[in-house]
Structure 1
Amino acid sequence: MSNLLNPDQLGERWQKSRQSLAQMRYRGHGPKFVKIGKSVFYRETDVLEFEESNIRTRTDDAPEAA
């Protein structure tokens, strides 16, 4: 299984707060996540996939097709 990141680790990587990541999860705008009990984790492979899907060459570009 791939490495798991907790919200603090992903927040540090993206310079986002835990609350911002929680809002992304709630709205379905972030990477896939794993929920075990009350704990949330992000698989590194899903984070990389999400980052790749958001690569743009201009600010008004649509995301590149995966």
Structure 2
Amino acid sequence: MINRTRYYKFDIGDGLMRRTGAIIEYLDKDGNWIEDRNLIRKFIGGDTDFDEISFEHALKIIEERSRK
């Protein structure tokens, strides 16, 4: 089975995370993806409001973050 990567943007600010299977990562201020197992609570417990976004939208945020 091939795991599809899904991207999510937090409602507040420009926070971005991605999920590929059981691996959940967030984009840090330097544009690096950091794995954080604690983020699973965001999906299970609904601790934070976020929306799934397209890869294209995520790419724009990633590129913008890399320029800073």
TM interval, shorter chain, is 0.3 to 0.5
Question: Per chain length, whose mean CA-contact separation is higher, i.e. which structure has more relative contact order (CA < 8 Å, sep 6+)?
Answer: 2
Alignment TM-score, normalising by the size of structure 1: 0.34
Computing the radius of gyration from Cα coordinates, the structure with the larger value is: 1
Return the structure number with greater helix share: 1
Question: Structure 2-normalised TM-score?
Answer: 0.33
